[in-house]
Amino acid sequence: MKKQNVSDTVIRRLPRYYRYLDDLHVKGIVRISSSTLGEKMGITASQIRQDLSCFGEFGQQGYGYNVDELRTEIGHILGVDNQHRLIILGVGNLGHALMQNFRFRDAGFLLEAAFDIDPRLIGTEVAGVPILDYARLEEFIPVHRPDVAVLTVSQAVAQSTADHLIELGIRGFWNFTNVELSTSVENVRFEDVHFADSLLTLSYRITER
Amino acid sequence: MKKQNVSDTVIRRLPRYYRYLDDLHVKGIVRISSSTLGEKMGITASQIRQDLSCFGEFGQQGYGYNVDELRTEIGHILGVDNQHRLIILGVGNLGHALMQNFRFRDAGFLLEAAFDIDPRLIGTEVAGVPILDYARLEEFIPVHRPDVAVLTVSQAVAQSTADHLIELGIRGFWNFTNVELSTSVENVRFEDVHFADSLLTLSYRITER
């Protein structure tokens, strides 16, 4: 079902569809029209139909979408049923916050371990997840083969940590460091979280008035 | 220069333009063509021209864009020179991480204070910003008139905290709680940070292969 060359904009809307559909599902709503879904999400019905057409045929004329079916289908496209494995690098405040509050399972990820160099943290646990010595990465990765590393290290060591992890075989990075990471190795994906983009959007909206 | 009815998609791309242009500016690059900028950002040159045309005329045929000028102009559209005032509600790990690491000033925001109910935190400072007693909000807000509240409280109190702040006059919310907030009061803006959207995008990309 997955087509080639789906635009970045459409890909980035998929998690939003998933989130809204999941919310409707939890609320017990069985079906929804593209126009009602569009209203909720602030996009047009035709945009929704166009986005979804990238991945197959969904919905029925006059009926709309079956919420649970579409949610399951989009979840599948996103890979939430793939059970990716994930490790966290750097257990400062942000790493700690993610370990404690973020629902990795809901996104289809299994958080296996966190790594740090601070001896006060090594050997402890947060929310049932062990914090291991950064020096043990090289033995850990070949055995556990995590798919994704969450980078919550300091900016100064962001690139060198990524390089080390790439060398050990990691290909997916959820990057909170605000450093633009780069590599010459193929098929490495950096997904950067830019808090500022969101705050600037808010700035625009409150400046508008 | 600011036009009405600019689409949400275009608004959300503005901070990215700003970020890329700022980076080019820091690197000493004086001008750039729409095609080179597009390549960097993963969008087409015509998309860039179309986006920017929502706000006025930028760039020159055959010359491209003056990096610093366009950066300044987009910053102005985003309101980064407005010096919005901001407070943080809830100094758990995430609130702490933002206070310590996030460059509010770069986004045009002045972080004035944080609020919590934990007596061990009240009266202390993080990165020079005081943590005050939540009970003092009602005297603080009319005096300091912050524009935006950052919500890093627990989910259980997210809506009630927002309601309280709205009552006190706050109209902008940077919401990290993952709770869909709502209000019947007009002109209130909720900007939600959904970490999961970003992780699911990464999931899609590593599933793709």
Residues of B in contact with A109 (CB under 8 A): 199, 203
The alpha carbons of chain A give a radius of gyration, in whole angstroms, of 20
A8-77 and A83-196 share one CATH topology? no
**Average pLDDT over every residue of A139-156:** 96
Q: Which residues between 107 and 166 in chain A have a beta carbon less than 8 angstroms from any beta carbon of chain B? A: 107-109, 147-148
H or E stretch at B189: strand B189-192
CB contact under 8 A, B197 and A19: yes
Q: Which residues between 28 and 57 in chain B have a beta carbon less than 8 angstroms from any beta carbon of chain A? A: 42-43
d(CA B181, CA B194): 13
Task: Please write down the HEC assignment for all residues of A121-161.
Answer: CCCCEECCEEEEEHHHHHHHHHHHCCCEEEECCCHHHHHHH
* CATH number corresponding to B8-77: 1.10.10.10
At residue A209 the predicted structure's pLDDT band, cuts being 50, 70 and 90, is: very low
% chain A with pLDDT above 70: 97
Q: Taking Cα atoms as reference points, which of B30, B126, B110 lies closest to residue B69?
A: B30
What does the domain layout of chain B look like in residue ranges? Answer: 8-77, 83-196
| Per-residue model confidence as pLDDT tens digits over A35-85 | 999 988 888 899 999 999 988 888 888 889 999 999 999 999 999 988 899
* Nearest C-alpha in A relative to B106: A196
pLDDT of residue B209: 42
Q: Taking Cα atoms as reference points, which of B6, B43, B196, B53 lies closest to residue A9?
A: B43
Q: Is A198 touching B (CB cutoff 8 A)?
A: yes
d(CA B49, CA A116): 45
Query: Would you say residue A157 has pLDDT above 50?
Result: yes
What letter does residue B209 receive in the DSSP assignment?
A: -
Q: Is B18 touching A (CB cutoff 8 A)?
A: yes
Residues of A in contact with B172 (CB under 8 A): 202, 205-206
Say if residues B149 and B172 touch (Cβ distance below 8 Å).
yes
d(CA A121, CA B82): 41
| Per-residue model confidence as pLDDT tens digits over B147-157 | 999 999 999 99
With a cut of 50, list the residues of chain B below it in pLDDT: 1, 209
* Nearest C-alpha in A relative to B197: A15
Query: Would you say residue A167 has pLDDT above 80?
Result: yes
Phi–psi pair at A140, nearest 5 degrees: -70, -50
Residues of B in contact with A162 (CB under 8 A): none
CA distance A127 to chain B (A): 14
Q: Is A186 touching B (CB cutoff 8 A)?
A: no
Phi–psi pair at A136, nearest 5 degrees: -90, 0
**Average pLDDT over every residue of A105-130:** 96
**Interface confidence (ipTM) of the complex:** 0.92
d(CA B188, CA B170): 8
Phi–psi pair at A177, nearest 5 degrees: -85, -10
Strand order in the sheet with B109-116: B125-126, B129-133, B109-116, B84-89, B148-151, B172-175, B189-192
Phi–psi pair at A119, nearest 5 degrees: -60, -20
Q: Taking Cα atoms as reference points, which of B207, B198, B91, B108 lies closest to residue B154?
A: B91
Is the CA virtual torsion B15, B17, B21, B24 positive or negative?
positive
Q: How far apart are the first and last CA of chain A?
A: 44
CATH for A83-196, options being 3.40.50.720, 3.40.50.880, 3.30.450.20, 3.40.140.10: 3.40.50.720
CA distance A110 to chain B (A): 12
pLDDT of residue A208: 61
DSSP B145-182: --SEEEE-S-GGGHHHHHHHHHHTT--EEEE-S-----
Q: Is A93 touching B (CB cutoff 8 A)?
A: yes
pLDDT of residue A12: 87
* Nearest C-alpha in B relative to A190: B202
Phi–psi pair at A31, nearest 5 degrees: -140, 160
Q: Position B47: which residue type?
A: Q
